[in-house]
Structure 1
C-alpha cells in the first residue's frame, strides 16, 4: 500500500551558517515540498541547541503558511510542559484565523517526562533488550535517556523554560483542556471560558509519542491521530503503535486508529553519494546524546577530520543503523518495510545534510520515487 509522505524539519543550522539562513532554508524547503507533493510539513520544538533554530513552532509555522498555498503545516510537536493550554490554543487559533483549515497542532510531553525519568532512576534498571529484526525492520536496543536528565545542564534548561515554581501539568489534562477550549466547552466550577482567537479553530489535533506510555494511551482513548517516533526512539516504535491501537476509542475525529511513523533519511542519485552526505550524522547525534545539544551540522570533510572513538560509536549506533541512506529505490524500499511492519497510515521523513541544495534534492528524489 502506498501511503502519503510528509516532512518533519528542525530548521537545522549548518557549520559556518546562522539561524537566519537556517530559517530561510526551512521556508524554502516547505515551498519545494508543496511542489513535490508532500502531504504536510511539520516543524519541531527544540531549545538550547546551537544547531537547531526551530525553537518556536507557532511563529515558524506562520511564516511557512504565508509562503505556501496548500500544504498542511504543523508542529511536531509543541512541548506543552512549557506552555499553558490557553497559550497554545490562542497561538494556533490566531494562525487558523488567517489561514483557515491548514494547521496540525501536534502535542508532545516535556517537563513531565523529565520528572518520570528521574523517578525511574531510583528503581532497578530495566533489563536491556537485544536488537531484533521484525519482518525486515531493525528494532535496536533502547538508548537510556535517563543518563541525560540527571545532568545539571538539563535541570537548568527545565528551570529556564518555565516560570519560577511552575510544574508541568498532567499531559492528559492539558490535552483535554486544549480540546475543550477549541470546542468552546471549557468550564471551571460554574464559570465558562471562551477564547478569541482559538475557539472553533479548524486545526487537526495530533499526539506525538516515543513509547507505549501516556502519549499513546491519551491519543487512543481520545480517538486522536498518533505520530510514533522511529527516527529518534526506534527501539520502542512497535510498542508505541500497539499501545495506541489497543487504547483507541472512536471519536468525532476518527472512527479508526490513524498512525504516522517518522524516519530519518538521506537520498542521493547513488548510494555512495548518499552515504557521503550522511557521514556527519554520527557527530550530530553524539552532540545530542552527550547532553551538549545539537551542534551546527558539519560538512563531510569536517566530520572526517573530527575525533571519534569506539565509545562514541556505541553511543549512536542505534541511530546510525536505523537511518535510511541510499539511492531513491533503496530508501523507498526501507520506508515500505517500515510502513508494512508498523501498519502506518502515513510516513514522516526528516533529512539533514550540510548543504541546503542536497537536502532539497533528497526530498525531491524520494517524492518522485514514491509517486512512481
Structure 2
C-alpha cells in the first residue's frame, strides 16, 4: 500500500481577501479533504504574518472537527517555546473530550536557542533517486529581523525563558499519562487532559533535538521537507537512529511534508504556483508572509533567488501523474509511512481542485 496522504493548512490569506475568508476556506477545504479520502487535517501556527490566518491551531481544530465527521484533526505544530505544557495538555484534552479518537497533538520546537547540530557547514545540493535534496538553507537573516524580535516580545510574558524542548515533551507526556510530579514532588492531574486519547507527534526539520527526542520516546515523527528540504534526510535518519520501541510504537513511524500544486496540465499548474516565489521570499527575508499574490502580480514581483531557489526546486508542481510520481519518489527515499501535503494558490477553488486531483491519482 502506498503511504497515506494528509493535509497541512496554514490558512493562507490570498491578496484581496480577508482573515474571515481564509478561515471559511479552511473549513471548506477540510470538508473537501475528508470527501477526497485524506487521513489527517493539520493546522499550522504562525504569528504576525499578514498573509497567514493560522495563529491559533486549537481554535481552528475545533472548527474543523465540528465541520467534519471522521478525518483526524491536528496541530502542525504547536509552538512549544511560548506555551506551558499544562496549557497544551488542557487544550488538547478538551478537544479530545469533544471529538474523541480524532485529535493529533503535533509538538514543534520553537522559541529557544538555535540547535547547533543544524549548522552542518557547507553541503552541496544533490539529486538522490530522483528527489532534489538542495543545500541546507540557513535562516539567520530572518531570525535577526525586527519582526521576529517583536513577535518574541509579544508572544511571551516579560522575562519568560523558553524551557528546553526535551523537557517540554516529557512534561506533556507525563501530564497526559498522569505520571507528572511538580517540582515539590506533588502529584498533579491535568483536567481535562489526563488520559486523553490524543496521538502525540514530534515535528522537526533536522537530525537534532526534535528527531532525537521523538526517537528516544518512541513517538511518531513528521519531517519537514517543505520547510527545510536540504535537511530532510538528516531528520529521518536521526529519528530512526534514536528510535526506541514504546507503548505507542514498536517501530519508527515517519510522515514527510511537501509543497504541492496540481492542475489538469503542467502549464496550468505552473501558472497557479507563480505566487510561491515572492511569498517564500517575504517569509525568508524576515518581513513576514505577504498575502498570497495572484499569478499576474507574481509575474511582476522581484525576489532574491538565494532565499527561494531551494524551495522552488522542491515544490512539486504539475499534472496529477507527474506530481504523484515525485511524491512516491520522496516517500521511497525517506521511507515515509505517510505524506503531509500543503498547497497554496491564490484562488481557493484551485486549491481544492489540486487536492482532489492528487487524491484521485494517488488512489488509482
TM-score interval for Structure 1 and Structure 2 normalised by the shorter chain = over 0.9
Q: Secondary structure at the match of 2:114?
A: helix
Q: 2:337 aligns with which of 337, 345, 361?
A: 345
Instruction: Write out per-residue CA displacement over residues 17-41 of structure 1, whole angstroms, 9 at most, x where no aligned residue.
Output: 0111000100000000000000000
Other-structure match for 1:104: 104
Distance of 1:220 and 1:22 partners within structure 2: 35
Residue in 2 that maps onto 1:282 = 277
1:276 Cα deviation from its structure 2 partner: 0.4
- Aligned residue runs from structure 1 range 328-367, under 5 A: 328-367=320-359
Q: 5 Å matches for 1:316-335?
A: 316-335=308-327
Match of 1:86 in 2: 86
Give the equivalent residue in structure 2 for 1:53.
Answer: 53
- The alignment's C-alpha RMSD in Å is 1.3
3-state SS of the aligned residue for 2:87?
helix
**Alignment pair present for 1:37 and 2:37:** yes
Quote the offset at 1:146 in angstroms: 1.6
Asked if residue 158 in structure 1 is aligned to residue 152 in structure 2, the reply is yes
User: Which residue in the other structure is 2:296 paired with?
Assistant: 301
1: CA distance, partners of 2:8 / 2:295: 23
Once the two structures are superposed, the pairs formed by residues 259-274 of structure 1 within 5 Å of their partners are 259-274=254-269
Residue 141 (structure 1) aligned with residue 135 (structure 2): yes
- Whether the aligned pair in 1 keeps the contact of 2:147 and 2:288 (CA below 8 Å) is no
Bigger drift between 127-136 and 206-215 goes to 127-136
d(CA) in 2 for partners of 1:28, 1:153: 31
Under a length normalisation based on structure 1, what TM-score does the superposition of the two structures give?
Answer: 0.95
Aligned length: 363
Q: Distance in 2 between matches of 1:15 and 1:152?
A: 24
Deviation at 1:82, TM superposition (A): 1.0
Q: Deviations over 1:183-230 (max 9, x none)?
A: 111112331001111111110000000001100000000000000000
Q: Residues 316-343 of structure 1: CA distance to partner in whole angstroms, max 9, x if unpaired?
A: 0000000000000000000000000000
Query: In 1, distance between residues paired with 2:330 and 2:321?
Result: 14
Secondary structure of residue in 2 paired with 1:17: coil
Cα deviation per residue 1:275-327 (whole Å; 9 max; x = unaligned)? 00001100100000110100000100111123x25xx1232000000000000
Report SS of the residue matched to 2:176: helix
Identify the match of residue 245 of structure 1 among 240, 243, 252.
240
**Match status 1:19 vs 2:13:** no
- Measured in 2, the distance between the counterparts of 1:270 and 1:209 equals 33
Q: Distance in 2 between matches of 1:321 and 1:190?
A: 52
Give distance in 1, aligned partners of 2:209 and 2:218: 14
- Structure 1 residues 221-236: aligned runs within 5 Å: 221-236=216-231
In structure 2, relative to structure 1, the CA distance for the partners of 1:209 and 1:120 (3 Å cut) is closer
Off by >6 Å, runs of 4+ in structure 1: none
**What SS does the corresponding residue of 1:344 show, helix, strand or coil?**
coil
Q: State whether residues 215 and 244 of structure 2, in contact with CA within 8 Å, keep that contact through their aligned partners in structure 1.
A: yes
User: 1:155 Cα deviation (Å)?
Assistant: 1.9
- 1:192 to 2:190 alignment: no
Q: 1:128 corresponds to which residue?
A: 122
Q: SS of the residue aligned with 2:142? A: helix
Q: CA deviation at 1:159?
A: 1.5
Secondary structure class of the residue paired with 2:122: coil
- Return the TM-score normalized by structure 2: 0.98
Unaligned 5+ residue runs, structure 2? none
Report what 2:114 is aligned to: 116
Aligned twin of 2:212 = 217
Residue 165 of structure 2 is aligned to residue 171 of structure 1: yes
**SS of the counterpart of 2:200?**
strand
CA apart distance, 1:126? 5.1
Deviations 1:257-278 (A, max 9, x none): 0000000000000000000000
